[in-house]
């Protein structure tokens, strides 16, 4: 137990260096931040500000410090030089602002207020902090100060409002914060603190645990849990985290040494074993597993695509045969379907010799006997609808042509068989080319007239039904 004295006014913030042992930063109302060697019990460095410091945060290797103050300035300090490396205007509002370093990234996040007292969120590049990356992000119009907390393992930023009961969290990706969700409570919080990652319950997929003060009477724990089954260790949400060993001593740090503290493998903690130490890296380790898991399936799919594309052309030649015989979707498209059917028969004349082609020719050639004696139109109107309805059934269900054609009209198909004699495949198609096309045109004209006549009858029946409904309604 040591008592450190050196500030002339009350102390507002205390924060240990994350990489060096026994190095402490304190801010005070005397507009200064002092860097202490706790073992020696004396301040070694002093960072002078022009106004009261409102918040401060260390970089991951403990060499830089970022601060916000009441003069609305954002300062990034090269601590051992006792001079700011960058000074930039922060949030324009008069209320307090807060800042946190985003782990091993070269980015910091700030929360504050606009001139219109709207709460804002800002992302800053420490190499060029003239203005926030992408501008300020408006949050809401609540008057309480927003306190930011960063989770380096899941790359999430938690914002807890002072005086309200909500904690919202964002995911940092591609130099912007994407809103995820929000914890809501009716009990306002005066202060919030988060448990180190090595203390969460990994058997329940708990990624963060917060503690908030409620009415200055008790502390309430809040768990943030990933909704998935927790039967085995989840390595994607529990990458290696900073352990308890520092990277250097206080004397080495004050002499200019830099480095990241070693990390521990959380899987060993999950198994209840002694924490396994892992050397620190210069880049955030949290993105490595997620990027590999996201990229590995896509690479496998890319390697498998050529084989799939090779197999697709093999299946495609088998598809046209059922497509040729597929029925049209509605009666309105029968005209185009009959024309398409004629062209398809023409394409297959040389190669087709099966029973289906023979039956289809017999069905198409039926109107020949009815076309030649068509001198008076009155007899045509009485006899053709039956033949037309019989013709319309062939394009709608072409797969049934071989069955019902021969028993339905044996007399009409007999002249064709006698004229073409027995070798149908040799002489019949060659003599039927012009007759079939001419007959198709006749069918189209006849079908159009029949459809128009049926439409007029339907309209007349509809009017009659409406008239009867009106009559019955008047009588009721």
Does the predicted TM-score (pTM) go above 0.95? Answer: no
Q: Measuring CA to CA, which residue among 316, 315, 340, 346 is closest to residue 328? A: 340
CA 455/CA 447 separation, integer angstroms: 12
8 A C-beta contact, residue 281 and residue 289: no
Residues 229-249: b if buried by 16+ CB within 10 A, e if exposed = eeeebbeebbbbbbbeebbbb
Please give the average per-residue pLDDT across 151-178, as a whole number.
94
8 A C-beta contact, residue 76 and residue 41: no
Measure Cα distances from 253 to 27, 262, 429, 466 in Å: 20, 16, 98, 97
> Going by DSSP bridges, is the β-strand pair 263-265/119-125 parallel, antiparallel, or unpaired?
unpaired
| Backbone torsions φ then ψ of 197, nearest 5 degrees | -65, -30
Structural element, H or E, at residue 273? none
Please give the average per-residue pLDDT across 397-406, as a whole number.
38
Asked whether residue 466 carries a pLDDT value surpassing 70, the answer given is: yes
Asked whether residue 407 carries a pLDDT value surpassing 80, the answer given is: no
Asked whether residue 284 carries a pLDDT value surpassing 50, the answer given is: no
CA 391/CA 385 separation, integer angstroms: 10
Asked whether residue 87 carries a pLDDT value surpassing 90, the answer given is: yes
pLDDT one-digit tens code per residue, 261-281 = 999 999 999 998 988 888 876
Task: Note the Cα 30 to chain centre separation in Å.
Answer: 50
Asked whether residue 418 carries a pLDDT value surpassing 50, the answer given is: no
pLDDT one-digit tens code per residue, 354-395 = 444 444 444 444 444 454 445 444 444 444 433 333 333 333
Structural element, H or E, at residue 181? strand 176-183
Which residues have a Cβ under 8 Å from the Cβ of 50 and sit 6 or more positions away? 31, 69, 71, 73
CA angle 61/66/68 to nearest 5° reads: 160
Asked whether residue 79 carries a pLDDT value surpassing 60, the answer given is: yes
Q: Measuring CA to CA, which residue among 188, 227, 185, 186 is closest to residue 206? A: 227
8 A C-beta contact, residue 308 and residue 255: no
Measure Cα distances from 33 to 30, 73, 79, 81, 434 in Å: 9, 15, 10, 13, 102
Please give the average per-residue pLDDT across 199-223, as a whole number.
93
Secondary structure class of 162 (helix, strand, coil):
coil
pLDDT of res. 294: 33
pLDDT of res. 223: 95
């Amino acid at each position: 137990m040591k008592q450190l004295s050196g500030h002339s006014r009350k102390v507002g913030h205390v924060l240990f260096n994350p990489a060096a042992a026994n190095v402490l930063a304190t801010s005070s109302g005397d507009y200064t931040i002092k860097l202490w060697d706790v073992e020696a019990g004396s301040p070694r460095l002093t960072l002078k500000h022009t106004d009261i410091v409102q918040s401060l945060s260390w970089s991951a290797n403990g060499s830089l410090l970022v601060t916000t103050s009441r003069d609305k300035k954002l300062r990034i300090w090269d601590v051992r030089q006792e001079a700011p490396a960058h000074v930039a205007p922060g949030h324009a509002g008069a209320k307090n602002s807060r800042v946190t370093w985003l782990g091993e990234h070269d980015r910091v996040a700030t929360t504050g207020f606009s001139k219109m007292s709207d709460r804002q969120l800002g992302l800053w590049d420490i190499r060029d902090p003239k203005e926030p990356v992408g501008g300020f992000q408006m949050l809401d119009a609540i008057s309480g100060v927003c306190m930011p907390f960063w989770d380096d393992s899941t790359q999430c930023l938690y914002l807890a409002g002072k005086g309200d009961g909500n904690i919202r969290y964002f995911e940092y990706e591609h130099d912007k914060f994407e809103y995820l969700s929000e914890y809501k409570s009716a009990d306002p919080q005066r202060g919030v603190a988060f448990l180190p990652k090595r203390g969460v319950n990994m058997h329940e997929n708990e990624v963060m645990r917060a503690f908030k003060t409620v009415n200055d009477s008790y502390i309430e724990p809040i768990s943030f849990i990933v909704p998935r089954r927790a039967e085995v260790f989840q390595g994607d949400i529990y990458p290696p985290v900073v352990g308890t060993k520092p990277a250097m001593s206080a004397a080495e740090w004050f002499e200019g040494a830099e480095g990241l503290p070693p990390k521990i493998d959380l899987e060993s903690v999950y198994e209840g074993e002694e924490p396994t130490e892992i050397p620190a890296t210069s880049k955030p380790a949290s993105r490595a597993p997620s990027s590999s898991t996201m990229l590995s399936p896509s690479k496998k799919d890319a390697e498998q695509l050529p084989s799939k594309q090779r197999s697709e052309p093999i299946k495609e030649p088998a598809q046209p045969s059922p497509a040729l015989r597929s029925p049209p979707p509605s009666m309105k498209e029968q005209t185009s379907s009959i024309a398409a059917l004629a062209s398809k028969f023409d394409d297959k004349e040389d190669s087709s010799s099966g029973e289906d082609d023979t039956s289809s020719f017999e069905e198409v050639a039926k109107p020949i006997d009815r076309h030649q004696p068509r001198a008076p139109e009155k007899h045509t109107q009485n006899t053709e609808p039956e033949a037309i309805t019989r013709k319309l059934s062939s394009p709608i269900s072409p797969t049934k042509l071989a069955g019902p054609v021969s028993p339905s009209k044996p007399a009409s198909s007999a002249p064709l068989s006698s004229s073409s004699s027995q070798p149908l495949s040799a002489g019949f198609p060659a003599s039927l080319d012009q007759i079939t096309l001419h007959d198709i045109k006749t069918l189209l004209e006849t079908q159009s007239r029949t459809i128009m006549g049926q439409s007029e009858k339907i309209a007349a029946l509809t009017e009659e039904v409406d008239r009867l409904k009106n009559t019955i309604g008047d009588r009721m």
